[in-house]
Amino acid sequence: MGRSRLNDVNVAEIVSSFGGGGHSSAASATIKGKTIVQVERSIKALLRSRINPQKLVKDTMSAPVIQIRPEGEIKDASILMTKYNINVLLVIDKNKRLLGYITRQILEKAVFFGLGNIQVREYMNIDIKTIGPDASLSQAKDTIIKDRLRLLAVVEDDIVIGVITRTDLLSILVGGPEVPDFIHEFRNASHFTRKKNIASLLKERLPRRVIEIFKEFGDTADTLGYAAYLVGGLVRDILLKQENLDVDVVVEGDGIAFAREYAANHDVRVRSHKKFGTAVLIFPNGFKVDVATARMEYYETPAALPTVEISSLKMDLFRRDFVINTLAIKLNKRDYGTLIDYFGGQNDLKEKVIRVLHNLSFVEDPTRVLRAIRFEQRFGFKISKLSQTLMKNTVKINSFKDLSGRRLYLELKLILMENQPVQAIERMNQFDLLQFISPEIKYTKELQSLLESIVGVISWFNLLYLEEPFQPWKIYWHGLTSQLDKKEMKRLAQRMQMNELEKKRMVSQAMEINTVLSQIFKIRRDSNYAIYTLLSQYDTEILLYMMARTNNEQTKKWISFYFNDLRKVKVRLQGSDLKMMGFKPGPVFKKIFSRLMEARLNNQLNTKEEEIEFIRKEFKNHLK
């Protein structure tokens, strides 16, 4: 028999698991064939899984608080609201006392009337309600609804530590993150979910040593009184069961101090960046962990690099690109393994959808358009309809015009490094994005055929098992830019801010492709040395691109012959051998080795002894 005096405990739901029933406050069931101990364990398990813990204001409030001094001017308050994407601004004096608030509507009208230089205190609303951080969310809800409040300030020891907004409350009550950005009362829409612990999943998906490091991070955070969280793509990929060991940790506190404290007690090196509040932990085996202070950011202009300010985990996660990347896992000992999901990331993973957090996300950072396509193709997800519309608008208003070429190049490189980049390139074409790489790139049937040919060549080369490192993305780059003439290629290299080595690898060699293909076609069938001399000047990626591009079967055979046979050929003699034979070091050494290579490639020599005899005859005039 069960009875309950709490709204959060529905005993009818509990006993229904045993075949019983009743009301939420009183219910019963008859159980047969089980011991008292078994029943007790079952009841405890049900209580843990079915009872909603009381939600507190401090678990849901938005922090830190964006604020302005009472002597601040109306125009400055308006700029703050636009910068941080909020509709209500708290007014707090130098002693951190709450004086009131001012709304966007009042500010806009004041600016319209030419009152931008008037102090905020003149038009702020002083009738503002407050609540403590340990109050229940139910109390906050009742206060907001009863008094029809836009915002409820959370105050502890007379200091404002956060806010609960109508939007926060609506998101919690509805149970989802789908609150349009344009009605946000604050910088984010909260999504409060039951706590879920995935410590066992971490243990299953990650190496033991990495788990040990996470627990060490938790201990370090506890020592400093900080909260430490695992964030980013690793959390997403753990839930998707994808391979990933790129570890990012966010600290509510001082990220650099956290990294240094950890390093003081473990065998790691620290590289810090004070300006951004970030650090990198470098372990002896080369394993790296990025550590960051929880921060929020805003964009002074579209496509510019963001300005960063210290913040909380919630605000830090809100600055992420997509909802699926807003998940976090707490590392502190007490809550180790607790999954935190403010914005509905778990739901988007389940629904397989890529969704931005707010409607100006692509305008702030146009590279997110390419990132959306990259994630969509990698995971087999679908970009949400709203996000697709926003992407098209970003192209329409040309938000890319102020984007640095280097950032565009690096994001494009990441797309080309994916396992199946051709589909991503096709998707880029659907959104008319190729023009931002170069207006000369047109996604024709010929380009599509070339890219598909590159896929085949890369597969062929991988099957050779030559254990020779190469970078497939460069081959796709050559294919994507194959329509560009020399002038446009040079312009593109300059815009992408390529360094000299990149220009040589990605541009200069590409400009010689037609000449090389023509020369290969003219080589005699018995001239192995001519093939070697011509092709050994070029990177593996360029040669594979030539194979994909040419329609001449003999040319393909020559390049294949070079990879399979000629490239392996080495002379046996070394400089020390030549010295012992009596040759004086100098320019003659280069001539000797060149002649030896020619003879070996043309099957004139096989053994070291034959090489020695050959050199003595060919270069006898150079002997001491």
Residue 315 CA to residue 280 CA, distance in Å, equals 22
CA distance 475 to 436: 20
User: Please, where are the H alpha helices in 464-586?
Assistant: 472-480, 486-495, 500-503, 509-511, 513-522, 528-535, 540-549, 553-564, 575-581
Contact 624, 584 (CB under 8 A): yes
Token code pair at residue 147: 């008094």
22 - beta bridge partners? 27
Q: Is residue 441 part of a domain?
A: yes
Q: Per-residue confidence at 395, pLDDT binned at 50, 70, 90?
A: very high
Q: Pick the last residue of a domain from 183, 207, 237.
A: 183
d(CA 273, CA 275): 6
Alpha carbons 91 and 97: distance in angstroms, whole number: 9
Does one domain contain both 539 and 430? yes
Angle between helices 421-430 and 472-480 (to 10 degrees): 30
* Structure-token pair, residue 541: 């990626």
Q: What is the mean pLDDT of the chain?
A: 86
d(CA 445, CA 457): 18
Do residues 545 and 606 both lie within one domain? no
- Look at residue 193 and tell me whether its pLDDT is greater than 80: no
- pTM equals 0.70
Asked if residue 374 belongs to a domain, the reply is no
Query: Is 204 in the same domain as 179?
Result: no
Q: Which of 183, 215, 234 is the last residue of a domain?
A: 183
Token couple for 205: 């998906």
Q: Are 332 and 271 in contact (CB under 8 A)?
A: no
* Residue 623, helix vs strand vs coil: strand
Asked if residue 355 has pLDDT above 80, the reply is yes
Position 248 confidence tier, pLDDT thresholds 50, 70, 90: very high
Question: Is 247 found in the same domain as 134?
Answer: no
pLDDT value of residue 188: 37
- Between CA 437 and CA 251 the distance in angstroms is 37
Q: Are residues 174 and 280 in the same domain?
A: no
Distances (CA, A) of 150 to 164, 165, 183, 315, 336: 9, 6, 11, 20, 35
Lowest average pLDDT, out of 3-17, 280-294, 435-449, goes to 3-17
Of 169, 195, 155, 179, which is closest to residue 67 (Cα–Cα)? Answer: 155
Contact 338, 329 (CB under 8 A): yes
| Main-chain phi, psi angles of 569, to 5 degrees | -70, 130
pLDDT at 134 over 60: yes
Task: Give the model's pLDDT for residue 371.
Answer: 96
Tokens 């009818």 correspond to: 12
Q: How confident is the model at residue 493 (pLDDT cuts 50, 70, 90)?
A: very high
321 domain residue, yes or no: yes
CA Rg value for the chain: 33
* Residue 624 in this model has a pLDDT that exceeds 80: no
Please state, in angstroms and rounded to a whole number, the distance separating the CA atoms of residues 232 and 583.
61
In terms of domains, do 564 and 579 share one? no
**Does residue 401 fall inside a structural domain?**
no
Packing angle, helices 367-379 and 421-430, rounded to 10: 130
Highest mean pLDDT among 164-168, 247-251, 363-367, 579-583: 247-251
Residues 6+ apart with CB under 8 A from 184: 85, 86, 87, 167, 358
The single-letter code of the amino acid at 116 is G
pLDDT at 187: 35
pLDDT band at 482 (very low <50, low <70, confident <90, very high): very high
Tell me the three-class secondary structure of 266-296, residue by residue.
Answer: CCCEEEEECCCCEEEEECCCCCEEEEEECEE
Of 147, 156, 154, 151, the C-alpha closest to 167 is: 151
- In order of 167, 256, 444, 502, 607, the CA distances from 440 in angstroms are 46, 46, 12, 21, 54
H or E element in which residue 385 lies: helix 385-396
61 touches 163 (CB < 8 A): yes
In this structure, the answer to whether residues 200 and 336 fall within a common structural domain is: yes
Nearest to 54 by CA among 137, 131, 165, 130: 137
pLDDT band at 587 (very low <50, low <70, confident <90, very high): confident
pLDDT band at 182 (very low <50, low <70, confident <90, very high): very low
Q: Is 360 a member of any domain?
A: no
Structure tokens at 39: 């029943």
153-166 mean pLDDT: 87
**Backbone angles phi and psi of 375, in degrees to 5:** -70, -40
Cβ neighbours, 10 Å, residue 173:
11
3 state DSSP class of 22: strand
Residue type, 112: F
Residue 388, in any domain of the structure: no
Return all residues near 457 (Cβ < 8 A) that are at least 6 apart. 475, 544, 545, 547, 548
Q: Look up the domain containing 175 and give its range.
A: 57-183
Asked whether residue 521 falls in the same domain as residue 602, the answer is no
Total Cβ atoms within 10 A of residue 277 = 20
If asked whether residues 606 and 537 sit together in one domain, one would say no
Residue 185 has pLDDT above 80, yes or no: no
Residues 45, 63: one domain?
no
* Domain count for the chain: 5
Identify whether residues 146 and 219 lie together within a single domain.
Answer: no
CATH number at residue 449: 1.10.3090.10
Is 545 within 8 Å of 478 (Cβ atoms)? yes
For the cut 70, the answer to whether the pLDDT of residue 50 exceeds it is no
Residue 270's region, left for phi above 0, alpha for psi from -120 to 50, else beta, is beta
Confirm whether 387 is domain-assigned. no
Residue 298, helix vs strand vs coil: strand
* Residue 492 in domain: yes
**At what angle are helices 528-535 and 587-601 packed, to 10 degrees?**
120
Instruction: Give the best-scoring range by mean pLDDT among 143-157, 422-436, 547-561.
Output: 422-436
Q: Give the pLDDT of residue 172.
A: 58
> For residue 136, what are the β-bridge partners?
56
Q: Are residues 268 and 160 in the same domain?
A: no
Of 351, 375, 395, at which residue does a domain stop? 351
